[in-house]
A = this chain, B = another copy of it.
Amino acid sequence: MDMAAGILAGDMRALARGLTLVEERLPGARELCVKLAPHTGRALRVGVTGAPGAGKSTLIDALIRAARARGERVAVLAVDPSSPRTGGALLGDRVRMTSHANDDGVFVRSMASRGALGALAPNAGEALDLFDAAGFTLLFVESVGAGQADVDIAAESDITLVLSAPGGGDSIQAMKSGILEIADLWVVSKGDNPQAAALKHELLAMLALGGADQLEERVCVVAALANQGVEELLAKMLAAGAAARADGAFAARRRQRVRRRILAAAAELCAEKLPTDTPLLTELEARIRAGDLSVVGAARALLSGGNV
């Protein structure tokens, strides 16, 4: 049986091998994605973001348990910012959710972001497609929240959760990072912490200031370890997914995702073609330092092969 057929039949070893192909961009990855594309678009994709220590892994762990009780098949893609020097993630699946290791309705995979043109590798979306084609119905994609990674996660997800933890002393910092605005649902984690209520009020005030609507429904307080609020959050997520499927937002988002991937791949093809070590580049660099040429002027010259 070939790999695509194996994945469609729910063979987990074929899925694992396929994910490696996609992550490493090995030969066969492209062909695999082409074959699986018509079989994607069924799963609900949920992006989970928030600062380090906000409790993302703990929340996902609790949501997996609740989703399994409802019969969902759950896959998690944990995107770790990769090291600029080694090109790989420093820690992988080792320290991640291991409590579902014996449940074949749960699949957890870590992936390093390559950081080429953004914080989320374009192949993270392809990995989600593989989960989708393999019959998982609820997909989580998790990343450390900051800047570009969040925007990328929101673009690859149907629903985005943003987590904040009380008592971190950095609530203002979390807000200034702009990650609030990409969320569909805001989650205050560690809800049994005495400062959780204050953080919820702070969030509601910030969001009202920003003009967001239906706030009381969209800000959730969850104590994942005590299993408080988890079932309610999952119900909201699934309801939002069902509503988006009914009104066509789901299909539109899927088209946008494909379009976005084409444009990202095209931008990358362009960037790859640029010469990085030519006498022309050295000359242009010296002219900029001498005050003789602008950076954009030099970029144009580089693209046109030297005609300034």
Contact = CB atoms under 8 A, between A and B. Distances in A.
B177 A52 contact: yes
Nearest to A267: B271
Given A81-B177, A265-B296, A274-B263, A289 B53 contact: no
Contacts of A81: 146-148, 176-179
A176 B91 contact: yes
A2 to B, nearest CB: 14
A97 interface: no
A175 interface: yes
A100 interface: no
Contacts of A149: 146-147
A240 interface: no
Contacts of A53: 51, 168-170, 173
**Main DSSP-derived SS at the A contact region:** helix
A91 B175 contact: yes
Interface stretch (A101-109, A230-238, A280-288): A280-288
Interface residues of A, number: 87
Contacts of A148: 81, 115, 118-119, 147-148
A214 interface: no
Given A146-B144, A170-B53, A294 B80 contact: no
Contacts of A288: 34, 37, 258, 262
A157 interface: no
Nearest first, the 5 closest Cβ-Cβ pairs linking A and B are: A270-B270, A53-B170, A83-B178, A146-B146, A265-B299
Interface of A: 30-31, 33-38, 41, 51-53, 80-86, 89-91, 95, 113, 115, 117-119, 122, 126, 144-151, 154, 168-170, 172-182, 254-255, 258-259, 261-263, 265-271, 274, 276, 281, 284-285, 288-300, 302-303
23 contacts: A30-B295, A33-B295, A37-B289, A38-B291, A41-B289, A52-B174, A53-B168, A81-B176, A83-B181, A85-B181, A85-B182, A90-B178, A95-B172, A117-B117, A144-B146, A145-B146, A148-B148, A265-B298, A267-B267, A269-B303, A270-B270, A270-B274, A270-B303
